[in-house]
Structure 1
Amino acid sequence: MCGIVGAVSTRNIVPILVQGLQRLEYRGYDSCGVAVHAASRHAPHRGAGLQRARSTARVAELLQQVQAEHIDGATGIAHTRWATHGAPAQHNAHPHFSHGRGHAGATAGSARDAAGRAGDAQGKAGDAQGKAGDAQGKAGDAEGRVALVHNGIIENHEELSAALQASGYLFTSQTDTEVIAHLIDSHYSGDLLAAVQASVVQLHGAYAIAVMHKDEPHRVVGACAGSPLVLGVGKNGAEHFLASDAMALAGVTDQIVYLQEGDLADLQPGRYAIAGKTQGGASQPLTPAQRPVCTVQAHSGAVELGPYRHYMQKEIFEQPRVIADTLEGLEDITPALFDGAHPHQARAAAQVFAEIDSVLILACGSSYYSGCTAKYWLEAIAGIPTQVEVASEYRYRTSVPNPRSLVVAISQSGETADTLAALRHAQSLDMQHRLTICNVATSTMVRECPLAYITRAGVEIGVASTKAFTTQLAGLFLLTLALARSKGRLSQEQEAAHLQAMRHLPKALQAVLALEPQLISWAQDFARMENALFLGRGLHYPIALEGALKLKEISYIHAEAYPAGELKHGPLALVTSAMPVVTVAPNDALLEKLKSNMQEVRARAGTLYVLADADTCIESSAGLHVIRMPGHGGPLSPLLHVVPLQLLAYHTACVRGTDVDKPRNLAKSVTVE
């Protein structure tokens, strides 16, 4: 979601800030901005205060604006915003300024805020007013006292806003973030770190912030709680950086410090200091904290598209390779596969697997559907009772904790706010056996789980997950086999057969990808529709859910998925000739039941689009379109059947002309609740 980059240096830092934002673009955003301290570069001809540029366009346009306005400085902060409080408009974009109590610049900003509010209600015309208002408010921008960027959500912002307005602060946006800027200004008396410390104890919710003050031109202060923030140590210690993700600093530094919950970071040229969370509030002296410096080889995210039209298409076609990478070196099934994050605990997984009697899976979105698929595997193959919870719901309901349950958190980024919160909630309930399936080895989730399996999907830029989803399934199948072996439910013959099937996956996926031309033909039909229904049974019901999610995410077609046996319990009322019905039809024990469900659709003049194994005896006819899968994957069939659904969604979106890689209203890494 939102991205933060900050820096203190002795050189012009603007190119690094903008480059960092570009590396975070894959997360999704609707506005962006940069602020620098002009005095940090000794540029008196432009004044000695804070300068900023903000845009509701892409980072490339922000760079043009920065260059046109000759904004540069050695101290700065930058941000990409995904709107939560306030519409995606220039006056709501970060960085936010505080001009002090009742300042004239804030008054001017308040006037343009009124125009912006009216504009938000009236649509594009109002956004134009907001942009014009920002242009008129440049003088106010230059007079800012505090500049701040923020990831997260401040839950008590209304209460704080009321108190700050009563003391004379004027607000220029509808965001919760501006509250923090004014709060820090209200506490400032010459020491920015002390002001930030006094402010954060008043915040309820999640935050990662980077802050500058006009009176301290060579200083940036950061703080985090409930939202990730990293500190980058520059070469020779001459410059230092803050970022919400180490990827933003790729190519700038590989020396990364992962800030912990409640940490404050004080960055100045030639030095940095970290203070841990104070227990007694703002009045207590700061406690210096030592955090290890890790060498992180972060990918820059500057991935070439090659012959592909979009990153999503490229990532779909990368699946054979990334599955091979994820399974590389796999010789046998052993619990030690899940010791990767903590090699000093070489026998930890074996001990945990012997002790647990159930599994609790926590995840969101596509990761939740991968967990739902794993439930079928875990119960059928390993014989372990398994519960799958939507992370955002689990933490807020009264549940019955089981200390002998293995808590499995699934996340592509390892920073998903709801999943992290659910994981911590489970830990608070004395559920200490924690494992993560994650694609980022340096993520918060991996650091907080004693056990982990790191998938090797590589950087996934498209917002709609494809290769990350299938590598999660591969990791979860390995977990199933490792637990089955630990519980004495996996013979050597069965293990060998499963390993052979997994090694065959890359080749099988290549054969599935060859079906793309047939799916392009289906997409021509789907692009004319506004609704679609997806059906699956058993192990393939979660795959139907994932297929419906992909279609709605990137084509904006309303899609639902149901277990096929549920048709007659309600969804059948929706079936008409205008409602295409996609059916996942592997040759398994439920095939004959599924064929009966398909007849129910045909009897209502519904049009079926069926992904059928070669030996299912389902033939194309009027109102029945069949694509033959290359072969039956057995228990691993979900990894094969999901790929055509990804391609169908992709090509439907292409026909409809949507922004495939950056669908509206969505973000790649959901770091707010």
Structure 2
Amino acid sequence: MCGIVGYLGSNGAYEILIQGLKRLEYRGYDSAGVALVTADGSLNVHKSRGKVSNLEQTAAAGCTAGSIGIAHTRWATHGEPNDINAHPHVSQSGDIALVHNGTIENYAVLKKVLEEHGYTFRSETDTEVLVQLVDYVRSTTPDCSLAEAVREALLQVEGAYAVAVVEKGDPDTLVVARKSSPLVIGVGDGETFIASDATPIIGYTDKVIYLKNNEMAVIRRGEPLSIFEIDSHTPSKISIKQLKLSLAQLEKGGYDTFMLKEIFEQPTTLRDCLRGRITGDCSRVTLSGVELNKDRFLQAERITLVACGTSWHAALIGKRLIQDFCQIPVEVEYASEFRYGNPVLNDRDIVIAISQSGETADTLAAIQLAKDKGAFVYGVCNVVGASIPRATDSGTYIHVGPEIGVASTKAFTGQVTVLTLLALAVGQLRGVIDSSTVQSVATALNAMPGTIEETLKCNDAVQKLSMFFTYAHNFIYLGRGYNYPTALEGALKLKEISYIHAEGYPAAEMKHGPIALIDQEMPSVIIAPSDSLYDKIISNVQQVKSRGGAVVAIVSKGNTAMKDIANFCIEIPDVPECLTPLVASIPLQLLAYYIAVNKGKNVDQPRNLAKSVTVE
């Protein structure tokens, strides 16, 4: 959600900024812009509604010179997507340009005060209020530097932000700051890069600094980097990390889209996720985050999983896994609702926060609340160095590599895999899971990359099947037990990328209302592996069929009986019941993908959606 790129060095900034914005397109946006300061101090701003390609056309008619600049992709919050509301915003004086991710909660109060001091506003954004506030501080405080003006302005701001600021007349200074919104600094040879995440920096340098919460950095040409706390102005210790990503991971690798690439990457990503976490004989699962916090897991009286979107669906599966293997009561909460529900927590509680990006604003807020109440907070995250791994007490990375497609695929299976490992590890630690269960589940989990490869062979069949349902207006997804959350996830994938209305339900709940919707125009996707609830779900399939509904059934390999009932069957390999979501999710991802492609939709960048939701 929104993206920031900045550059100060000896090369032309414009091309670097545009390339960076293109790498951030996966985050979701509706307008883009760039501000450049030329060698003689001129400030040139170009911005446009729509894609980065629109910005390039707009900028081509103006000046794009300069070796310092900032750029932005905006996902609209305050004000509609248009050229005026697009970032960068420029102060009334025309001297200061600023880009901003996040939300200024007290912008209305600040705006009123600034209007009383003669400021007028062109846009509807909270960001323009911030740049005018910086300008006001700069112009009314004697001998005030740009950096000090930004710091003083931010001290008056309530909310979340990542900002980058440049000034007319100064081609040598770039000021950045963050609070509850990510910002990364790339350290090159005589040049410095900034970005919302590391993707725009890859290929230029592998040395990065993750700016901490409430920190500010001043980047001056030819001078050492200065980082300090916004509140106290106390200098911060600079810690340079090495990036372990490559350009190849950010490219499509011969696939038509990132989403399809990421679906087919899952055998590889799960190998990376599992590596070193299961012993060679599959008798034991080891997670360092659990091993280093044994007492917390031994003494835990309750576990609460907090997450949003696809991660929430993984959490629902995690709940069943932990309760089955660990015999600990588990609750699952939407992170966005958790902190408003006055949760009762103490030092015997464990809160597990799940997020692909590690920057989800609601999840970060839930983490802070849990820590304030004394709970032990464990993170499950994909992005190394993100805010959530730094905010939690311990945790586990899913290690599935960068996920560029907005609709999550490989991150979901990575999260479910880590939650399975976590449940097995904690169950062993607490002595409540028998060795034969560990052996069978760990063996099947260790073999999962190959099992997913086998599952992906359904690709051609699903592609063909998708043509029958491209113009459906509604879908219902049904599952039971471990696969009720899988049904929710399948419905979400279809909604996200095809814009077809779809709902997931526990199959038994169909009789309590949703069955009224079933007719010839309402196809049902029913997850029916050969597990302990198979006989139950057969009756649900028959109920749909008797009302004229078309059924797509996801069944275990070798199930021939279902072919006599369902309209279409997609076979998946037989695995232990607790692992069926991993294999059942594959055809559901492919079905959503091909229906969306058939409809001509942009599957990598669905409308109105953002990859990383960094505002409430």
Residue 273 of structure 1 is matched in structure 2 by: 226
TM-aligned CA distance change 1:203 to 1:415, over 3 Å: same
Rate the CA distance shift 1:535–1:422 in 2: closer, same or farther, 3 A: same
1:479–1:468 CA distance, 2 compared to 1 (3 A): same
**Is contact 2:541–2:565 with CA below 8 Å preserved after alignment?**
no
Q: Secondary structure at the match of 2:526?
A: strand
Q: Distance in 2 between matches of 1:4 and 1:196?
A: 17
Which SS does the other structure have where 2:449 is aligned?
helix
2:151 is the alignment partner of 1:197: yes
Alpha carbons 1:531, 1:557 under 8 Å: kept: yes
1:621-646 residue CA offsets vs partner (Å, 9 max, x unmatched): 47632223232443211100011100
The 10-residue stretch of structure 1 (611-620 or 585-594) with the greater mean CA deviation from structure 2: 611-620
Query: What's the CA shift for 1:397?
Result: 1.6
Moved more, 59-68 or 488-497: 59-68
Shift, 1:617, TM fit = 5.4
Q: How far apart are residue 618 of structure 1 and its match?
A: 3.4
Paired residues of 1:247 and 1:299 also in contact (CA < 8 A): no
Which of the numbers 85, 91, 94 marks the counterpart of 2:87?
Answer: 94
Q: Partners in 1 of 2:459 and 2:243 — Cα distance?
A: 37
Separation of aligned partners in 1, 2:473 and 2:347: 46
Cα offset, 1:538, TM superposition: 0.9
Query: CA offsets per residue over residues 584-609 of structure 1, 9 Å max, x none?
Result: 00112211221222222222222211
TM-score in terms of structure 1 length: 0.87
CA distance in 2, matches of 1:452, 1:334: 19
Corresponding residue of 1:326: 273
Match of 1:442 in 2: 385
Q: What one-letter code is carried by the residue in structure 2 that aligns with 1:518?
A: A
Q: Offset of 1:68 from its aligned partner?
A: 4.3
Question: Is 347-356 or 57-66 further displaced after alignment?
Answer: 57-66
Structure 1: which 5+ runs fail to align? 43-47, 101-143, 280-285, 340-345
| Letter of the structure 2 residue corresponding to residue 362 of structure 1 | V
Alpha-carbon distance in 1 for matches of 2:470, 2:286: 47
**Larger CA deviation: 397-406 vs 524-533:** 397-406
Aligned to 2:241: 294
Seen in structure 2, the aligned counterparts of structure 1 residues 301 and 207 have a Cα distance that, compared at 3 Å, is farther
Could you list the per-position Cα deviations for residues 74-95 of structure 1 after superposition, in whole angstroms to 9, with x for gaps in the alignment? Answer: 2211111111111221111111
The 3-state SS of whatever aligns with 1:532 is strand
C-alpha separation in 2, matches of 1:7 and 1:469: 34
SS at match of 1:373: helix
Residue in 2 that maps onto 1:574:
517
- 1:129 aligns with none
* 1:258–1:622 Cα change, 3 Å: closer
The alignment yields a C-alpha RMSD, in angstroms, of 1.9
Residue in structure 1 matched with residue 37 of structure 2 by the alignment: 37
From 96, 100, 106, the equivalent of 1:150 is: 100
User: Residue 177 of structure 1 is aligned with which of 107, 118, 127?
Assistant: 127
Residue in 2 that maps onto 1:227: 181
Q: Deviations over 1:55-87 (max 9, x none)?
A: 224324434543442311122111111111112
Q: In the aligned structure 1, how far is the partner of 2:104 from the partner of 2:247?
A: 30
Q: 2:399 aligns with which of 453, 456, 459?
A: 456
What's the CA shift for 1:356? 1.8
Structure 1 distance, partners of 2:100, 2:185, is: 15
Deviation, 1:663, is 0.4
Distance 1:622 1:389, change over 3 A: closer
- Structure 1 window deviating more from structure 2 (166-175 vs 65-74): it is 65-74
> For 1:358 and 1:622, how far apart are their aligned partners in 2?
42
1:254 to 206, 225, 239: 206
The one-letter amino acid paired with 1:392 is S
Residues 334 and 151 of structure 1: CA distance in aligned 2, closer, same or farther (over 3 Å): farther
SS of structure 1 residue aligned to 2:563: coil
Return the match for 2:506 from 547, 550, 563: 563
Identity %: 43
Cα deviation per residue 1:157-192 (whole Å; 9 max; x = unaligned)? 122222222322121211111110111011104411
> In 2, are the aligned partners of 1:374 and 1:476 still within 8 Å (CA)?
yes
Match of residue 365 from structure 2? 421
Rounded to whole Å, the distance in 2 between the matches of 1:469 and 1:257 is 28
SS in 1 for 2:241: strand
Which residue is 2:167 aligned to? 213
TM alignment of 1:77-88, pairs within 5 A: 77-88=70-81
Per the alignment, residue 45 of structure 1 pairs with none
The answer (yes or no) to whether the contact 1:527–1:653 under 8 Å persists in 2 is yes
CA deviations over 1:410-448 (Å, ceiling 9, x no partner): 1111111111111111111111x2211111122111122
Partner SS for 1:224: strand
What is the letter of the counterpart of residue 243 of structure 2?
V
Q: Distance in 2 between matches of 1:301 and 1:74?
A: 27
- Gap change, CA 1:563 and 1:216, over 3 Å in 2: same
Which residue does the alignment assign to 1:367?
A: 311
> Match of 1:275, as an amino acid?
F
Partner SS, residue 351 of structure 2:
strand
Match of 1:131 in 2: none
SS of alignment partner, residue 287 of structure 2: helix
Query: Does the 8 A contact of 1:301 with 1:459 survive in 2?
Result: no
Distance 1:484 1:622 in 2: 40
Is 1:588 the counterpart of 2:531 in the alignment?
yes
Q: 1:558 to 1:185 in 2, by over 3 A?
A: same
Aligned residue for 1:16? 16
Is the contact made by 1:336 and 1:350 (CA closer than 8 Å) also made in structure 2?
Answer: no
Alignment of 1:625-664 (within 5 A): 625-664=568-607
CA separation in 1, counterparts of 2:29 and 2:197? Answer: 15
Cα offsets for 1:116-162 (capped at 9, x unmatched): xxxxxxxxxxxxxxxxxxxxxxxxxxxx2110000001111122222
- Are 1:261 and 1:277, in contact at CA under 8 Å, matched by a contact in 2? no
Per-residue Cα deviation, 1:362-413 (whole angstroms, up to 9, x for no partner): 1111011001011111111221111111101101221111321221111111
Deviation string, structure 1 residues 196-231 (Cα, Å, up to 9, x no partner): 111112211111101112243321111111111122
Looking at structure 1, the residues matched to 145 and 494 of structure 2 have their Cα atoms a distance apart, in angstroms, of 52
Q: How many angstroms apart in 1 are the aligned matches of 2:474 and 2:131?
A: 45
Post-superposition Cα deviations, 1:216-270, rounded to whole Å, max 9, x if no partner, equal 33211111111111223332xx333322212221222322222222112111112
- TM alignment of 1:116-135, pairs within 5 A: none
The amino acid of 2:587's aligned partner reads P
Q: 1:218 to 1:466 in 2, by over 3 A?
A: same
Write the distance in 1 (CA, Å) between the matches of 2:188 and 2:308: 35
For residues 468-617 of structure 1, the aligned pairs below 5 Å read: 468-614=411-557
| Cα separation, partners in 2 of 1:549 and 1:510, compared to 1, 3 Å | same
Give the counterpart letter for 1:86 in structure 2. G
Report the counterpart of residue 399 of structure 1 in structure 2: 343
Q: Is the Cα contact below 8 Å between 1:336 and 1:349 reproduced in 2?
A: no
Aligned 8 A contact 2:441 2:576 in 1: no
**Which whole-Å CA distance do the structure 1 matches of 2:453 and 2:321 have between them?**
24
Task: Give the corresponding residue for 2:109.
Answer: 159
Aligned to 1:381: 325
User: Which residue in 1 is equivalent to 2:52?
Assistant: 59
Report SS of the residue matched to 2:561: coil
Task: Return the letter of the residue paired with 2:484.
Answer: Y
Q: Distance in 2 between matches of 1:270 and 1:23?
A: 28
Question: Residues 543, 181 of structure 1: CA spacing in aligned structure 2 closer, same or farther, 3 A cutoff?
Answer: same
For residues 530 and 399 of structure 1, do their structure 2 counterparts lie closer, same or farther at Cα, with a shift above 3 Å needed? same
Q: Identify the residue that residue 116 of structure 1 maps to in structure 2.
A: none
State the match for 1:309 in structure 2: 256
Deviations 1:93-125 (A, max 9, x none): 11111123xxxxxxxxxxxxxxxxxxxxxxxxx
* Aligned 8 A contact 1:653 1:660 in 2: yes
Deviation at residue 302 of structure 1 after TM alignment: 6.3
The DSSP-based 3-state class of the residue aligned with 1:206 is strand
